[in-house]
Amino acid sequence: PQTIYLKDYTAFGWHAQSVALEFTLDPHKTRVRSRIAFTPNPDAPAQDFFLHGEALALISAKIDGQDVTPTLTDGGLTCAVPAAPFIWECEVEIDPANNTALEGLYMSNGMYCTQCEAEGFRKITYYPDRPDVMSVFTVTINGPHPVLLSNGNPVTASENHAEWHDPWPKPAYLFALVAGDLIAHEGQFTTKSGRDVALNLYVRPGDEGKCAFGMQALKDSMKWDEDVYGREYDLDLFNIVAVDDFNMGAMENKGLNIFNSSAVLASQATSTDLNFERIEAIIAHEYFHNWTGNRITCRDWFQLCLKEGLTVFRDSQFTSDMRSAEVKRIGDVIDLRGRQFAEDQGPLAHPVRPESFQEINNFYTATVYEKGAEVIRMLKTLVGDQAYADAVALYFDRHDGQACTIEDWLQVFEDTTGRDLSQFKRWYSQAGTPRLSVSETYADETLTLTFNQTTPPSAATADPQPYVIPVAVGLIGADGDEVLPTTILEMTQAEQSFTFSNLPIRPAASILRGFSAPVVLAHDADNAHLLAHDTDSFNRWEAGRTLARNALLGMITKGTRPDPAYLDGIYTLVNDTTLDPAYRALMLGLPSQSELANALHEAGHTPEPDIIHAAVETMREALAKKLGDALPELYAANQVSDSYQPDATQSGARALGNAALSLLTRRDAGAQAQAQYDSADNMTQQLAALANLIRAGRGDTAVKAFETQWKDDRLVMDKWFGLQVIEADPEDAFEVAAGLTEHPDFNWKNPNRFRAVFGSLALHHAGFHHASGAGYALLADWLIKLDPVNPQTTARMCSAFQTWKRYDTDRQSLIKAQVQRILATPNLSRDTTEMLSRIIS
Ligand code: HT7
Ligand code: ZN
């Protein structure tokens, strides 16, 4: 396959002034007519006229009304064109019903829908399918469907016919079309300048009762973007459509967002509190793209973090404002460590702005999204809130309507602050997670902190250079008072010292407060003291996490007992009713088994998944024992009697109640879990109870009852499939997963269902890495089966193998053999080939 390089970027030789598309829908023979007004681009180098196109049957092509015969190539067509402005017209036929890859125009449960990011538009018609070609689209849809939607504002609509016009120039990846028998949940929003916007959430009949929350989240997002970023919505209409078959979470098409139904449909009975929170965040994320992504888009796909990092950062700010900022930050860091650090420390490591790719779909990664957001967070920390606001306002003013680069983004910060950001830019160009170590000396009432940064070399970055690292530091006195409030130290060198004087008594240093930079910190801190007293809520939680991690590593490598200092500290905190229940629930969490495996590997040990699993079980047992008599009270005090709301307060109480339940189950053999299962009036309670019953070995009846109750609800059944794998004993996990693939409702072509089983298997550390290799073989079998049907989802699932070098030589050989077996499959997709070749390299 061909490798594309950032350094080879050249502008397209023509501007597309306007685009008119006409669709005549048919499951197997949809006709697409296009009429595009091209004018030469005087700023582009001389080039052949090339339009992308894939899986298209060309019916006819004309230039200025005259038939032409283009030369068809692998990925498109070339054609001789006039040196002046001209009109390109063409007609193609496509087959949406057989489009199982879910890119381009496809069908899901009888409805037509599109997914064009990143390069799906070329499966709809011949077009310069690149983000820097922006044009104004008019779309006509003919088809026997009650609902016919496209981007922008409606022009006309009659039976079987609709016309849409989008006045805002956009790249083809933001094009969307939906047609089907859908029901609209309606809403309305008045913008800050007084314009009325009609809002619709379109769903399949039967899903009407799951729309209210998503609609409110949309209104909250629109208001927040006005209040915090001054961004107003710019069309008369904003439509969201829920689709069952979707490769990712959602897509920000201009004025017509398309959502995986799991990312928008919600109800008390069918969705957990975490589902509600995720839905609110995704709706916000897609809405915020209207400015950061749509009005200002990316020049090329290497700049993906320009829109994704910024939009993830914006949606995290939104969630912090809507819910609890401390809980959101801790959740984000858990997620970053679990997904992004694993990526950045393995063979798939790449810079936030990659420099080459074979298949761009493989670069919608935790590094581009989540590390990209962390980079913006650091920038804001370094320049301060006001300068950040000024720079972003300048970005919107200067670049509205343009396709931009990271250089454009950093330039507005340089212009606003006068700072030189050339060293900071390394966060965009270098791969790998920096290791930040700190040592302390104390003499003459002066504390000196000496920091050292190193980043391990990787295939993507052979010789990493020092970063600018904002290190947020505070000092805590012996009696728990704050001696120094949070102060930002700006580290720019490989080694650097900072001194703090006038400290008659040596304080405890609280370093990297709020997780001020995405680094691995090594600090021999007084974690028990910080757990009791740190005034920074993130670092207080982090102190507990570090104590837990160190205790578990000691148990695994030296056979030590669970650390009493950790257990005592957690006991005090969890019973401190002045603290937010959601925060206390997080305190009861342990590092994931995969995170422990990584920590062991980093420390020079070979992780053994069953020993890690056993240590975590022992620690949970010790926590249950320590909290012992307090558990019934902790459980009872966190039962919500008010009518159900998925807000931060109620979800926090349920999170703590359910954390108590999982420890209580170890003491009462599942009696309380059964009672909760029998009385639950919401999915958060029902699912947590079911998980505990399975763990207690008495889940059979409830598992059957749950299936009977929910067999007609696709999204709840995804939970049913996933939970059985997640909660399986490590010895049985792959058999449970294999058994579920025999279930009549295991519709493996549906990405949500496939991920429910195999995403859960990959997350089950001790089950997936079972010494027999059966987990690896099962996943490989199914990836081979899925690849010809849906390469994008197959390739994403390959990341389950990315950590293979951590393990013993037997497991390494087993994984390698499976990866090579997949790679040897004839006609393997470019997506999967690239992922596995990088993993195995
Ligand atoms: N910008 C979107 C990314 C995306 C996508 C979404 C759905 C299916 C396939 C996709 N490929 C890329 C989603 C987002 O980040 O908001
Ligand atoms: Zn996005």
Atom of ligand 1 nearest to the CA of 293: 1
What's phi and psi for 600, nearest 5 deg? Answer: -65, -45
Probe residue for ligand 1, chosen from 117, 121, 303, 368 as the CB with the greatest number of ligand atoms within 8 Å = 117
In this structure, the residues whose C-beta lies within 6 A of any atom of ligand 1 are 115, 117-118, 247-248, 250-252, 285-286, 289, 308, 364
Distance CA 283, CA 395 (A): 23
795 Cα to the center of ligand 1, angstroms: 15
326 Cα to the center of ligand 2, angstroms: 23
Question: Is residue 123 within 8 Å of 89, Cβ to Cβ?
Answer: no
Q: What is the set of active-site residues?
A: 286
Atom of ligand 1 nearest to the CA of 289: 16
Q: Is residue 291 domain-resident?
A: no
Q: How many domains does the chain have?
A: 6
Q: What is the pLDDT of residue 157?
A: 87
ipTM of the complex: 0.97
Q: pTM of this prediction? A: 0.99
Nearest to 474 by CA among 539, 524, 395, 522: 539
Same domain, yes or no, for 504 and 612?
Answer: no
Q: For residue range 664-701, list pLDDT tens digits in order.
A: 999 999 999 999 999 999 999 999 999 999 999 999 99
Which CATH number fits the domain that encloses residue 348?
1.10.390.10
Same domain, yes or no, for 177 and 54?
Answer: yes
Q: Tokens standing for 197? A: 């916007």
Same domain, yes or no, for 655 and 715?
Answer: no
Q: What is the pLDDT of residue 84?
A: 98
Please, what is the average pLDDT of the chain?
98
Q: For residue range 700-712, list pLDDT tens digits in order.
A: 999 999 999 999 9
Out of 378, 412, 429, pick the residue that ends a domain: 429
Given a cut of 90, whether residue 493 has pLDDT beyond it is yes
Q: Is residue 219 domain-resident?
A: no
Distance CA 103, CA 359 (A): 14
814 Cα to the center of ligand 2, angstroms: 36
Calculate the CA 647 to chain-centre distance. Answer: 22
Sequence-distant (6+) residues with CB within 8 A of 211 are 185, 201, 203, 265
Atom of ligand 1 nearest to the CA of 361: 11
Nearest to 787 by CA among 833, 741, 744: 833
Which CATH number fits the domain that encloses residue 471?
2.60.40.1840
Q: Is residue 186 domain-resident?
A: no
Residue nearest ligand 1's atom 12 by CA = 117
Question: Is residue 70 within 8 Å of 61, Cβ to Cβ?
Answer: yes
Same domain, yes or no, for 560 and 581?
Answer: yes
Sequence-distant (6+) residues with CB within 8 A of 419 are 382, 383, 413
Same domain, yes or no, for 477 and 375?
Answer: no
DSSP β-ladder status, 86-94 and 30-40: antiparallel
CA distances from 126 to 60, 65, 93 (A): 11, 17, 11
Same domain, yes or no, for 729 and 822?
Answer: yes
Same domain, yes or no, for 43 and 153?
Answer: yes
704 Cα to the center of ligand 1, angstroms: 35
Residue nearest ligand 1's atom 4 by CA = 117
Distance CA 107, CA 22 (A): 18
Percentages of the chain per state (helix, strand, coil), in multiples of 5 = 45, 20, 35
Axis crossing angle, helix 648-668 with helix 273-288, rounded to the nearest 10: 140
Same domain, yes or no, for 13 and 146?
Answer: yes
Q: What is the pLDDT of residue 565?
A: 97
Probe residue for ligand 1, chosen from 174, 246, 251 as the CB with the greatest number of ligand atoms within 8 Å = 251
What's phi and psi for 493, nearest 5 deg? Answer: -105, 170
Probe residue for ligand 1, chosen from 315, 359, 364 as the CB with the greatest number of ligand atoms within 8 Å = 364
From first CA to last CA, the distance across the chain in angstroms is 16
Rg (CA), the chain: 27
Distance CA 229, CA 310 (A): 12
CB neighbours of residue 411 within 10 Å: 18
Q: Tokens standing for 591? A: 């590092």
Question: Which ligand approaches the C-alpha of residue 306 most closely?
Answer: 2
DSSP readout, 193-247?
TS-EEEEEEEE-TT-GGG-HHHHHHHHHHHHHHHHHH-----SSEEEEEEESS-S
397 Cα to the center of ligand 2, angstroms: 21
Alpha helices in 323-446, H assignment, sequence order: 325-335, 341-344, 366, 372-383, 385-399, 406-417, 426-429
Nearest to 619 by CA among 564, 668, 682: 564
Residue nearest ligand 1's atom 7 by CA = 248
What order do you get walking across the sheet with 49-52 strand by strand?
A: 49-52, 76-79, 71-73
**Sign of the alpha-carbon torsion through 210, 211, 212, 218:** positive
H helix count then E strand count, the chain: 29, 31
Given a cut of 90, whether residue 379 has pLDDT beyond it is yes
Q: Is residue 798 domain-resident?
A: yes
Atom of ligand 1 nearest to the CA of 792: 9
Residue nearest ligand 1's atom 11 by CA = 117
Given a cut of 90, whether residue 1 has pLDDT beyond it is no
pLDDT category at 510 given cuts 50, 70, 90 is very high
Out of 607, 627, 647, pick the residue that ends a domain: 627
Q: For residue range 440-452, list pLDDT tens digits in order.
A: 999 999 999 999 9
Nearest to 516 by CA among 555, 467, 465: 467
Same domain, yes or no, for 616 and 692?
Answer: no
Q: Is residue 273 domain-resident?
A: no
Question: Which ligand approaches the C-alpha of residue 171 most closely?
Answer: 1
3-class secondary-structure state, position 88: strand
252 Cα to the center of ligand 1, angstroms: 8
Question: Which ligand approaches the C-alpha of residue 793 most closely?
Answer: 1
Q: For residue range 227-254, list pLDDT tens digits in order.
A: 999 999 999 999 999 999 999 999 999 9
| Average pLDDT estimate for 454-458 | 97
Q: What is the pLDDT of residue 718?
A: 99
Q: Is residue 249 domain-resident?
A: no
Q: Is residue 259 domain-resident?
A: no
Same domain, yes or no, for 583 and 651?
Answer: no
579 Cα to the center of ligand 2, angstroms: 34
Which CATH number fits the domain that encloses residue 724?
1.25.50.10
Atom of ligand 1 nearest to the CA of 286: 16
Owning domain of residue 362: 297-429
Q: Is residue 271 domain-resident?
A: no
Same domain, yes or no, for 693 and 618?
Answer: no
pLDDT category at 524 given cuts 50, 70, 90 is very high
Same domain, yes or no, for 519 and 532?
Answer: no
93 Cα to the center of ligand 2, angstroms: 31
CA distances from 655 to 467, 514, 715, 840 (A): 38, 22, 21, 40
Distance CA 316, CA 403 (A): 24
Atom of ligand 1 nearest to the CA of 285: 16
| Average pLDDT estimate for 196-221 | 98
Out of 142, 164, 181, pick the residue that ends a domain: 181
